[in-house]
């Protein structure tokens, strides 16, 4: 009902008056109600997940979920972060700062913020977990938007229509609310669609280079059998969702450092965080990762 959208002081009173008079809600009032509902929904999710945030395998206030449908794959992370909402909002509403986040991911080879006819864009190259020429990697063109921002809630959307090897409709969505004691509750979604070609390519990867790789979710087991971690394509999307979350967390871990030292601290933090889950996320040794990422970050500042 429309009455459910009429919240707040003057906004709520005006909405109720308009409804009593049989007048349709104006666009600005509907938008305000939508923002209020989105923030309220995330607060409700925080309440529902309170037990899982307090007790989980990560030893951090973090919950990871994943799903697979005929259309594609999706991973979601909900986490309490020990950083103020103002700091998180100010940084993650800026496309250039997203490039500083995304380059930490081992598969990101390049990221550059720019603009197009419809607004801000991110050109992102993804590829192997080893040094790679840009021409050999795949470029995704993400549209970047901030649909909602208030004093205690914001939302960021990154969308790319096309991806490599039969994938499409890439979507990275981040929303966050302010918590007491200068903390932030964050919801990160990483999703994409996969056609038949893409599924065949993923199955080939999982049967060769990715054999034995698992995610974080414990699967339901039959009586007498030991619980097993999710594998296959859901394991794949869980690993990448976690890598992106750890990149966001590492970005803010380094924020107190002098600007000249922040990149090194972010890289060190990301690698250390991934090594806490070696079965899922270990790919290389620290010196190799650091050397590769310093070179890629330098290339990111100079290449078109």
Residue 7 pLDDT? 40
Look up the pTM and report it. 0.87
Residue 118 pLDDT? 85
Residue that wins the pLDDT comparison between 225 and 299: 299
Sign of the torsion formed by the C-alpha atoms of 147, 187, 174 and 233: negative
For the stretch 102-128, pLDDT in tens is 999 999 999 999 998 889 999 999 999
Q: If we measure between CA atoms, which residue out of 124, 68, 49, 79 comes closest to residue 246?
A: 79
Bridge partners (DSSP) of residue 108 are 126
Residue 27 pLDDT? 46
Place of tokens 């938008």: 31
Residue 132 pLDDT? 97
Domain boundary assignment for the chain? 2-48, 56-302
Judge whether residue 179 has pLDDT over 80: yes
What's the rounded Cα separation, in Å, for the pair 99 and 112?
Answer: 6
* 56-302 has CATH 3.50.50.60 classification: no
The chain-wide mean pLDDT, for the chain, equals 89
Q: How confident is the model at residue 260 (pLDDT cuts 50, 70, 90)?
A: very high
Judge whether residue 237 has pLDDT over 80: yes
Least confident stretch, 30-44, 73-87, 106-120, 192-206: 30-44
The burial class, CB within 10 Å (0-12 / 13-18 / 19+), for 135 is: exposed
């Amino acid at each position: 009902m429309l009455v459910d959208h009429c919240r707040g002081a003057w906004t709520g009173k005006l909405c109720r008056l308009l409804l009593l008079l049989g007048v349709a809600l104006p666009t600005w009032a509907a938008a305000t109600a939508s923002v209020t509902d989105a923030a309220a929904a995330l607060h409700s999710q925080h309440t529902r997940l309170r037990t899982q945030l307090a007790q989980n395998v990560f030893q951090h206030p973090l919950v990871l979920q994943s799903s697979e449908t005929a259309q594609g794959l999706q991973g979601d992370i909900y986490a309490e972060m020990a950083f103020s909402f103002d700091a998180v909002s100010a940084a993650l509403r800026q496309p250039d700062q997203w490039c500083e986040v995304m380059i930490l991911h081992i598969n990101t080879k390049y990221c550059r913020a720019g603009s197009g006819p419809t607004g801000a864009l991110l050109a992102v190259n993804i590829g192997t977990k080893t040094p790679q020429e840009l021409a050999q990697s795949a470029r995704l063109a993400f549209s970047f938007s901030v649909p909602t921002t208030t004093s205690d809630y914001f939302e960021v959307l990154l969308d790319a229509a096309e991806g490599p090897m039969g994938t499409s409709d890439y979507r990275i969505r981040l929303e966050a609310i302010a918590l007491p004691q200068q903390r932030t509750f964050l919801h990160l979604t990483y999703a994409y669609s996969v056609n038949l070609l893409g599924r065949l390519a993923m199955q080939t990867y999982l049967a060769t280079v990715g054999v034995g790789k698992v995610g974080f979710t414990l699967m339901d087991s039959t009586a007498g059998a030991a619980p097993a971690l999710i594998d296959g394509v859901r394991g794949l999307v869980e690993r990448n969702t976690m890598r992106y979350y750890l990149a966001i967390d590492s970005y803010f871990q380094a924020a107190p450092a002098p600007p000249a030292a922040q990149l090194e601290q972010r890289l060190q933090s990301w690698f250390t965080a991934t090594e806490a889950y070696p079965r899922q996320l270990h790919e290389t040794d620290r010196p190799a990762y650091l050397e590769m990422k310093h070179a890629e970050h330098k290339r990111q500042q100079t290449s078109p």
